[in-house]
Structure 1
Amino acid sequence: MPLRRAWDRLTLIALPTAVSCARAFASRTLRRWGATHVMDDALLIVSELVTNAVKAAGPPRRADITAEHVFGVQLRLDGTSLYVEVWDSGHETLTARTPAPDDEGGRGLLLVQTLATRWGTCRPPAGGKIVWAELTLSREPTLTTRTLPLRVPPPIRVPTGKAREQVESALMQRVLDGLRRL
């Protein structure tokens, strides 16, 4: 029997390699869930939202990694919707803008707005912000309990304490809010 609800998350540090790590995580997760038909759109959304989180934190030097450099990526399958959620400790408000034709950047949120069914931001009680995007799945994913692998710890050690608690609390708050709406 296919599962209708699943989630997985990854905690990262705002380094230049974070976007490729998040894309690899999303690709692996979507394959596991049998949701490869939305892979291209989901990976582009992950790339844009993670890029914004890395820019918001500013890349640290190795010795200067603090809680502000930690952010989380969560993929959540809820029935026929896939949610891409990125938490960071920033407080700036994100809005899609119309860049000039010769601008090299500034199109990320326009892409997210175009590809996603809905998108937005929220401020969890743990602090920071979550930027989320919803993709409608055209069919039920084929995830079954037999296809779920054991979770392997990520190769990067995330700071412990307040930084980790904030990431986990913010992302879990989003899951709880979704469950309460059911």
Structure 2
Amino acid sequence: MSQVPTAHNHLLLADTPNAAGWARRHTRDVLGRWQMPPDLIDTALLIVSELIGNAVQHPGDAKQPERLTSAELAKVKVIGLNLQLRGQAMLVQVADHDKRPPVPQNVDTDAEGGRGLFLVEHMSSQWGYYHPPTGGKIVWAEVRPSSPPKPQPATAEPPPSNRAARSRPFKPMTNEQLPIGDPNLMGRVLVGLRRI
């Protein structure tokens, strides 16, 4: 009987505007050390960003200033980020002090925010929340690697190499070549756009 590989990592973050950035850096480092596939890392980074962002931006709370004095910093609460590897699946958990449940929002197409839980729902295999006995809430999402890409049929002629920096003619992709069946595509696109 083979054992399922497991690993666990926990990070406490100050409930400040830069928490999502620190959480992404930490997640990338941890998942890289765990040798997770790149598509799973990208998906996990998006989910961590959204869950930490939701934990920091509590609806109805006063917006915190970008810079905090030491007296204000002493009053700042913490957010917990918990990463767990369970076989091929990775569990992301974010704990905060707010008891209000996460509620997906219906937003207009031109709205700049409010799609975080929609992305979490579509990028994770499952997600939810619970109230621990210590108070607050924990929002969790499970991430699984995407299925391996389908092999493409061999073409009669190989694609031309571009070693001499010659321009290639534009060839639009056909519907058969588009990765429509990849549920993590949207997340990887968003992660790529955030890096720009």
Structure 1 and Structure 2 fold alike (TM over 0.5): yes
SS at 2:17 equivalent: coil
- Quote the RMSD (CA, aligned, Å): 2.2
After TM superposition, give the deviation of residue 137 of structure 1 in Å.
3.4
The 8 Å contact of residues 130 and 139 in structure 2, kept in 1 or not, is answered as yes
Is there any run of 5+ residues in structure 2 with no aligned partner, and where? 148-196
The 8 Å contact of residues 16 and 59 in structure 1, kept in 2 or not, is answered as yes
The 8 Å contact of residues 16 and 76 in structure 2, kept in 1 or not, is answered as no
Q: Aligned residue for 2:15?
A: 14
The 8 Å contact of residues 82 and 135 in structure 1, kept in 2 or not, is answered as yes
Letter of the aligned partner of 1:43 in structure 2? L
- Partners of 1:132 and 1:110 in 2: CA distance: 14
Larger displacement relative to structure 2 (56-65 or 79-88): 56-65
- Partners of 1:105 and 1:14 in 2: CA distance: 19
- Partners of 1:109 and 1:138 in 2: CA distance: 20
TM-score (norm: length of structure 2): 0.65
Matches within 5 A, 1:35-50: 35-37=36-38, 38-50=40-52
After TM superposition, give the deviation of residue 136 of structure 1 in Å.
1.6
After TM superposition, give the deviation of residue 65 of structure 1 in Å.
3.2
Cα-to-partner distance string for 1:104-157 (whole Å, 9 max, x where unaligned): 110000000010000000111111100000012359xxxxxxxxxxxxxxxxxx
TM-score (norm: length of structure 1): 0.70
Q: Aligned residue for 1:54?
A: 56
- Partners of 2:50 and 2:78 in 1: CA distance: 17
Is there any run of 5+ residues in structure 1 with no aligned partner, and where? 140-182
SS at 1:15 equivalent: coil
Larger displacement relative to structure 2 (62-71 or 7-16): 62-71
Relative to structure 1, the CA distance from residue 76 to residue 67 in structure 2 (aligned partners, 3 Å threshold; closer, same or farther) is: farther
After TM superposition, give the deviation of residue 68 of structure 1 in Å.
5.8
SS at 2:57 equivalent: helix
After TM superposition, give the deviation of residue 69 of structure 1 in Å.
2.1
Q: Aligned residue for 2:98?
A: 90
SS at 2:95 equivalent: strand
Matches within 5 A, 1:131-142: 131-137=139-145
Aligned residue-pair number? 139
After TM superposition, give the deviation of residue 59 of structure 1 in Å.
2.9
Matches within 5 A, 1:31-180: 31-37=32-38, 38-56=40-58, 58-59=63-64, 61-62=68-69, 63-65=71-73, 69-137=77-145
The 8 Å contact of residues 129 and 137 in structure 2, kept in 1 or not, is answered as yes
Higher relative contact order structure (alpha carbons within 8 Å, sequence separation ≥ 6): 1
The 8 Å contact of residues 4 and 86 in structure 2, kept in 1 or not, is answered as no
- Partners of 1:67 and 1:26 in 2: CA distance: 26
Larger displacement relative to structure 2 (119-128 or 91-100): 91-100
The percentage of aligned residue pairs carrying the same residue is: 39
